[in-house]
Amino acid sequence: MKSPQTTQRSETSGGEADHLDFLSQSAGPAEWIALSRVFLPRFVEVRGCVLWDRSYDPGNFQLWYDELKGDVASIEATLNEFRLWMYVDFDDDPASRSNALDLAGEIARAWRLSLGDAFPDRAFDVRATETVDGPVVSFTSLPGTGG
Sheet holding 124-130, edge to edge: 81-83, 135-141, 124-130
Cα–Cα distances in Å, from 73 out to 93, 101, 119, 129, 140? 34, 24, 16, 18, 6
Residue 12: the pLDDT is 55
32, amino acid identity: W
Residue 6: the pLDDT is 44
Are 80 and 109 spatial neighbours (Cβ–Cβ below 8 Å)? Answer: no
Residue 40: the pLDDT is 94
For CA atoms 22, 113, 106, 50, the dihedral sign is negative
Residue 4: the pLDDT is 44
Q: In the chain, which residue ranges form alpha helices assigned H by DSSP?
A: 4-13, 19-26, 29-39, 58-67, 72-79, 94-118
Residue 1: the pLDDT is 33
Cβ-Cβ contacts under 8 Å for 92 (sequence gap 6 or more): none
pLDDT along the chain (147 residues), means of 10: 46 72 84 88 96 96 98 97 93 92 97 97 97 96 78
Residue 147: the pLDDT is 58
C-alpha span between 51 and 81 (Å, rounded): 10
pTM over 0.75: yes
